[in-house]
């Protein structure tokens, strides 16, 4: 495993970093600065969904670098129009706002929901219901939308306007709606909250209540969008149509870009001057997005993710069946969580030591986020290492 300099860093210590420095990537493989090779089953937290340095995306980026890097959003940007059309043609949405990250996409969704109710409908509503253990970002508004106190710690006073309901509790949800409520914001899979999957009956109740009370339904697809769950968007598993969805992570194959997509009726709320982003939807970012979405859609990688996710879960269950530390294996496509009976930080470090990169999802869940192009052989390799590490800890307990 590579060594990291112990000299004083000039960076704020905001990350509990793993003790390796990655310098090269190709496909599902990463290399550190010591030449060690790793199987990457975390893909930068669902970002490099086409693997590292995908050739077609690189080709599109190089082509764009020769033409134009940046121009203000005060001008028309053809790449924005093309990427927006790709996204709306392949979803139930009608309009797109581009930004730089998932947090910014969720900020835009929060602002749009409030402004629609206040400027278009004239209701004055501003509260948004989110869910306990959710994660929506690190800006002041999105960390407040996040239903986890640890994310909010030290940032008080928090902005008003957010209410936290229990996840997957359809019976309780109606009690959180009042005359201030303007929207419900939901993840179909609480990826950061432990790979907790929304129940179909719960989602249907959310959609029903939104219609009954004239609320906007916002679906946060930052981690689940663009093929990860076995559909292009996770909401498609549930037979509903949100009013707003948010995207980032996989959209640029590692190049920073986020997007908020909404229904036609919402364009009345986001008029000229109401919202903006200096770097949102630059020619370079949208070039990466165009290439990425064209590959995911054209090569039907959502279907592949469904197939490979099923394969991975079957292999994991066969390998870990009856393991005393394994509580449950949860998955939707290639978003996979192994819930354990104790904290997993040391297990993850040991898995890394065997050359396989995974990540946690809360303190007791090992999360796998392979490339959508991961092979059966690569999954076998990773699952073999995970099984070996967990088996070693079982023996240690028994001794």
Per-residue pLDDT of the chain (399 residues; tens, 9 = 90+): 445 555 789 999 999 999 999 999 999 999 999 999 999 999 999 999 999 999 999 999 999 999 999 999 999 999 999 999 999 999 999 999 999 999 999 999 999 999 999 999 999 999 999 999 999 999 999 999 999 999 999 999 999 999 999 999 999 999 999 999 999 999 999 999 999 999 999 999 999 999 999 999 999 999 999 999 999 999 999 999 999 999 999 999 999 999 999 999 999 999 999 999 999 999 999 999 999 999 999 999 999 999 999 999 999 999 998 999 999 999 999 999 999 999 999 999 999 999 999 999 999 999 999 999 999 999 999 999 999 999 998 755 444
Please calculate the CA angle 198-201-207 and round it to the nearest 5 degrees. 85
Q: Which three-class secondary structure state does DSSP give residue 50?
A: coil
Q: Which domains occur in the chain, in start order?
A: 22-40+303-398 (3.90.1150.10), 55-298 (3.40.640.10)
Alpha-carbon span 89 to 73, nearest angstrom: 23
Alpha-carbon span 349 to 343, nearest angstrom: 12
CB 340 within 8 Å of CB 329: no
CB 276 within 8 Å of CB 111: no
CB 91 within 8 Å of CB 261: yes
* 362 DSSP 8-state letter: S
Alpha-carbon span 24 to 89, nearest angstrom: 35
Q: Which three-class secondary structure state does DSSP give residue 185?
A: strand
């Amino acid at each position: 495993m590579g060594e990291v300099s112990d000299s004083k860093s000039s960076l704020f210590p905001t990350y509990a970093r793993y003790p390796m420095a990655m310098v090269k990537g190709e496909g599902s493989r990463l290399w550190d600065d010591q030449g060690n090779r790793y199987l990457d089953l975390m893909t930068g937290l669902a970002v490099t969904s086409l693997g590292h340095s995908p050739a077609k995306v690189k080709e599109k980026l190089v082509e764009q670098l020769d033409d134009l890097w940046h121009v203000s959003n005060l001008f028309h940007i053809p790449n924005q129009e093309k990427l927006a059309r790709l996204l709306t043609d392949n979803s139930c949405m009608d309009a797109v706002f581009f930004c730089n990250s998932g947090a910014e996409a969720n900020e835009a969704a929060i602002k749009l929901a409030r402004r629609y109710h206040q400027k278009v409908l004239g209701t004055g509503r501003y509260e948004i219901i989110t869910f306990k253990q959710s994660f929506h970002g690190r800006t002041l508004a999105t960390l407040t939308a996040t239903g986890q106190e640890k994310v909010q710690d030290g940032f008080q006073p928090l902005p008003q306007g957010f209410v936290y309901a229990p996840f997957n509790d359809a019976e309780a949800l109606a009690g959180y709606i009042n005359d201030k409520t303007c929207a419900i914001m939901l993840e179909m899979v609480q990826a950061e909250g432990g790979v907790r999957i929304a129940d179909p009956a719960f989602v249907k109740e959310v959609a029903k209540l939104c219609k009954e009370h004239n609320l906007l339904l916002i679906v946060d697809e930052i981690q689940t969008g663009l093929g990860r769950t076995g559909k292009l968007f996770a909401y498609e598993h549930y037979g509903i149509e949100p009013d707003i969805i948010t995207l980032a992570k996989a959209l640029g194959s590692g190049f920073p870009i986020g997007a908020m997509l909404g229904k036609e009726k919402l364009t009345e709320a986001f008029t000229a001057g109401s919202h903006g982003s200096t770097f949102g939807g630059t020619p370079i970012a949208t070039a990466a997005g165009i290439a990425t979405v064209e590959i995911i859609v054209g090569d039907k990688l959502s279907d592949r993710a469904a197939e490979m996710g099923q394969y991975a879960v079957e292999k994991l269950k066969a390998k870990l069946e009856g393991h005393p530390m394994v509580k449950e294996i949860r998955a939707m496509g290639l978003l996979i969580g192994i819930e354990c009976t104790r904290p997993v930080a040391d297990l993850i470090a040991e898995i890394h030591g065997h050359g396989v990169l995974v990540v946690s999802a809360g303190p007791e869940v090992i999360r796998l986020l392979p490339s959508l192009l991961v092979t059966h052989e690569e999954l076998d390799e990773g699952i073999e290492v995970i099984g070996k590490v967990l088996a070693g800890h079982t023996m240690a307990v028994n001794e």
